[in-house]
Structure 1
Amino acid sequence: MADIVFCADDFTGASDTLATLARAGKSARLYLSPPRISDHPEIAGLDAIGVATSLRALSVKDGINRMNELVAGLSGAGGKIHHFKICSTFDSSPRIGNIAQVADCFAKGINAHWQAIIGGQPSLGRYCVFGNLFAAASNGTIHRIDRHPVMRTHPVTPMAEADLRQHLNAQGWPDVGLIDVTLIRRGARALTAEIQNRMAAGETHTLFDAAENHDLEIIGQALRAIAVNTKILCIGASSVAQALTASNRANDTPPIKTAPAPIPQRNGPVFAFAGSRSPLTAQQVAATRHLHKIEITPGNLMDPTGFADMTKACMDVLADGKHLLATLGDDAAHGIGGHELAKASARFIANVITQTRIGFLAIAGGDTSSLAVLELPIDSLSFVEDFDRGVPVIRAHGSDPQLDGLEMILKGGQMGQTDIFDQVVNRTETGSRTR
């Protein structure tokens, strides 16, 4: 059975964790619901399995109910270490996408009495120092998360607190301990002893700083040592997978890199949908030159006639073999909640691509990506190759020949180079990226 079992609260981050494991030489597959080995015999040969969800968009009650279902379904999957994969920016709130209460539900289900919270992902420009989270903006400038130009104004879960202990306290964890960089940099042996002392004293939730990749290597060694005798749940971004698979000891066997899967000959145009409100996504849309653009308003998505008309407009463009970028217009007067808008966008994407054969799917927007993939008749995703930082190419698997083998990128609003949509077209047309 798998050594690592992870549950992700959205699809963009789940695909990044999948890629992180694959880069480390781990065989891994991402499922849309807890897999049964009778239906998926490939599970027996996997090092890691994950389930991708839309938990970050759910209320506390719905999130707990969904996590109970997931844990019950994963009961036979094994797992020396379990990972609750969350966004690297920790954007969440007491009401929507509550990390603490859903993680507690996960921990209870696997009988884990201690939870390790990894507070940074340096590879993506996310740094946790003395318990405070910092994140790089699209121009590379690093901001405290509550002063970040995007995250402080996130449309659903704006970040108003940089101290992750205080942020998680508001969600139900009043006594989160902190292991800061000065403790981590004493080395893995000292860190392991510190964790054991904390656990013996009754500490149940511990936040770890992470300011550079070497911090993750040390954390990973300590977590693996603790996991020999103790069931643990790790909470954090793909940095958790990076830590658990890191190798910096002389007697470690270097990981065998997983070769990129060959790009199959799949005919059809690119269909891209930009539902993110991020300024970077707006720049990426404006920079696109190789895709036909259609703007869809929130009103179009909520009105049956408008929905049908815009579906037909998109299908007509794709049927002509043209690459298409559908963008969600910013109509501030629409009065539609962010989650409802993401669900409507997801239904729209699924409606288009289940009726029109495409060669590649690209979605910008975390909630939109999660909900859109859940609308599709597929059952799992596998890693193909890296595409951009934090944006891997993944491949869909399922019984529907229209979608089986479809490759895609699921891009968070703050991820990717400015010309990412044109690079998708280049990859589809030439089988490689040029930069």
Structure 2
Amino acid sequence: MSVALGCIADDFTGATDLAGMLVRAGLRTVQLIGVPDRDLPAEVDAVVIALKSRTSPVAEAVRDSLDALAWLRQAGARQIYFKYCSTFDSTPAGNIGPVADALLDALGSDFTVVCPAFPANARTIYKGYLFVGEVPLNESGMRDHPLTPMTDASLVRVMQAQTPRRVGLVPYEVVRRGPGAIRERFGRLRSEGVSYAVLDALDDADLLALGAACADLPLVTAGSGLALGLGPNVSGVAAGAAADALPATGGRRAVIAGSCSAATRRQVALMRERHPSFRIEAADLASGEDIPGRVLAWAAEQEGPILVYATADPEEVRAAQAAYGVSGAGEMIEAALARIAQGLVGNGFGQLIVAGGETSGAVVRALGVSGLQIGPEIDPGVPWTATLEGAGRRPLALALKSGNFGTDDFFLKAWERLG
């Protein structure tokens, strides 16, 4: 077995986002949950290993990422892709910088790129500043993120705070001149002792140029957008239309939302207007009441798609964190939603949408999912997937959505893409 592109993603929805972009670029792609202990199907161009390392302790994130790298190198991966969120979710302590440093060291390399741009989802970079729609990152909803509040839009400054290596910039006036000019700037930055080059990008044409310029780098670090530009570097891949075919799935439908992002709050509000919903609150969980049991009993009496959510406004999130601790409140909710997902699947639910990276990680682990086949895109960065199950087990359909992704009607329209 040999794969062209080996990818390490720092959370589960981010891994699915990247895998979907690779399929869109024409690569036959499999997503694996954690470092696998088995071989892959022969006809695979790209492998994405999904970790839960975005907010874990730095040493743990580095260890898990190096384990994933070792497996991918054994599988013959010719290039490594470290994937993080398009809003560069991290803190001054990490984890993006320390993981990237460790991967560079392990690969014996001294240079890579930093590019969370995803223009299709309104994430662009200009003069090294990350924009979300029309506003800088620090003026977007990410300033209120409960775990990784982003208070600076300068990727050069944010990355420099996380690494002892030098960070530089490839500005837009260079990017628009194409791959040759970009590679020339890479050479100049390397000669100046720069290890990380932040890349400006305003549209998909920029990503294609950047991808071509990055073809020979042992390591790239980016959001999922750059995958669109790396796809053409891989020869002999399947056509995109064939790459996103999924096996048939069935069963009842449910949305499980743990994200508190602005996008998910809007999606939850619209879903609640159309379908039965049940809200999970940290105070109820802390009281010791069997909330998952109540939810499962309620779900059995409903018809059509249902919504189970712990989504809350920033003020409510802060109040819960003050009462139960930042990690304590989140872990309580994740555990409850994971148990609910297990119960729903056991009761005949077979098509699930899960909103939020931490929630998706908890649900996927609780369900014992080892891998995912990537299917059709619902919205940019969010495809349907089917679990890679053993003989005799029917696959589940899963859509693992980053909290910030998707249109307001995402939960309502997603089912149509399953056919």
TM-score, structure 2 normalization: 0.89
1:406 corresponds to which residue?
396
Which amino acid in the other structure matches residue 80 of structure 1? R
* Structure 1 Cα separation of the partners of residues 260 and 297 of structure 2: 26
- Pairwise CA distance, 1:81: 1.5
| Residue 147 of structure 2: aligned partner | 156
CA distance in 2, matches of 1:112, 1:174: 12
1:58-77 to structure 2, matched below 5 A, reads: 58-77=56-75
Task: Write the distance in 2 (CA, Å) between the matches of 1:257 and 1:329.
Answer: 35
1:183 and 2:169 aligned? no
Rounded to whole Å, the distance in 1 between the matches of 2:246 and 2:76 is 30
Q: Does 2:82 correspond to 1:84?
A: yes
- Alpha-carbon separation, structure 2, partners of 1:118 and 1:315: 42
2:281 to 267, 291, 297: 297
Q: Which residue of 2 aligns with 1:346?
A: 334
Q: Which amino acid aligns with 1:240?
A: L
Q: 1:339 to 1:372 in 2, by over 3 A?
A: farther
CA distance, structure 2, for counterparts of residue 131 and residue 255 of structure 1:
35
Deviation at 1:262, TM superposition (A): 4.7
User: What code does the residue aligned with 2:39 have?
Assistant: H
**Which residues of 2 match residues 255-294 of structure 1 at below 5 A?**
256-259=239-242, 260-262=244-246, 264-267=248-251, 269-288=252-271, 289-294=273-278
Once the two structures are superposed, the pairs formed by residues 8-407 of structure 1 within 5 Å of their partners are: 8-36=9-37, 39-42=38-41, 44-95=42-93, 97-136=94-133, 142-148=134-140, 150-173=141-164, 175-224=166-215, 227=216, 231-246=217-232, 256-259=239-242, 260-262=244-246, 264-267=248-251, 269-288=252-271, 289-303=273-287, 305-306=288-289, 309-320=290-301, 322=303, 323-328=305-310, 330=312, 331=316, 332-334=318-320, 335-355=323-343, 356=346, 357-399=348-390, 404-407=394-397
d(CA) in 2 for partners of 1:344, 1:253: 47
Distance change (3 Å), C-alpha of 1:378 and 1:165 = same
CA contact (8 A) 1:342 1:368 kept: no
* Structure 1: segments with no counterpart, 5+ residues: 137-141
Deviation at 1:407, TM superposition (A): 0.8
Q: CA deviation at 1:285?
A: 1.6
Checking the alignment, whether the CA contact within 8 Å between 2:276 and 2:306 is kept in structure 1 is: yes
Q: Give the distance between the partners of 2:195 and 2:128, measured in 1 at CA.
A: 17
Distance in 1 separating the partners of 2:293 and 2:377: 33
Moved more, 287-296 or 319-328: 319-328
Distance 2:150 2:306 in 1: 33
Encode CA deviations 1:21-70: one digit per residue, 9 max, x unaligned: 1112111101012234xx2341x321110101111121222222322332
Residue identity opposite 2:120 in structure 1: S
User: In structure 2, how many angstroms separate the alpha carbons of the residues matched to 1:265 and 1:409?
Assistant: 13
Judging changes above 3 Å, is the alpha-carbon distance between structure 1 residues 400 and 56 closer, same or farther for their aligned structure 2 residues? farther
Question: Aligned to 1:16, what secondary structure does the other structure show?
Answer: helix
Residue 104 of structure 1, CA deviation: 1.0
Structure-1 separation of matches of 2:386 and 2:237: 26
Deviations 1:302-337 (A, max 9, x none): 45x32xx22122222333463321121644533234
SS at match of 2:239: coil
For residues 146 and 81 of structure 1, do their structure 2 counterparts lie closer, same or farther at Cα, with a shift above 3 Å needed? same
Are the equivalent residues in 2 in contact too, given 1:275–1:342 (CA < 8 A)? no
The alpha-carbon distance between structure 1 residues 62 and 24, as it changes in their structure 2 partners (threshold 3 A), is same
Change over 3 Å in CA distance of 1:389–1:253 after alignment to 2: same
Q: Which residue of 2 aligns with 1:139?
A: none
Distance 2:173 2:291 in 1: 56
SS at match of 2:97: helix
Counterpart secondary structure, 1:54: coil
Structure 2 residue aligned with 1:418, among 404, 408, 411?
408
Q: CA deviation at 1:254?
A: 9.7
1:206 aligned partner, one-letter code: A
Identity of aligned residues (%): 27
How many angstroms does 1:92 deviate by?
Answer: 0.8
1:294 CA drift (Å): 0.9
Amino acid at match of 1:325: L
| Residue-by-residue CA offset, 1:242-299 (whole Å, 9 max, x unaligned) | 121148xxxx9997223342561412x2221221112332222221244311111113
CA distance in 2, matches of 1:167, 1:83: 20
Q: Distance in 1 between matches of 2:291 and 2:170?
A: 52
Indicate conservation of the 8 Å contact 1:133/1:164, yes or no. Answer: yes
SS at match of 1:120: coil
| Paired residue secondary structure (1:333) | helix
- Equivalent position SS for 1:57: coil
In the TM superposition, residue 179 of structure 1 has moved relative to its aligned partner by 0.8
* 1:329–1:159 CA distance, 2 compared to 1 (3 A): closer
Q: Deviations over 1:88-116 (max 9, x none)?
A: 01121024x52101111122223332111
- Name the count of aligned residue pairs: 405
Q: Match of 2:332, SS?
A: helix
**Paired residue secondary structure (2:149):** coil
Helix, strand or coil at the partner of 1:393: strand
The answer (yes or no) to whether the contact 2:24–2:228 under 8 Å persists in 1 is: no
The offset of 1:128, in angstroms, is 0.5
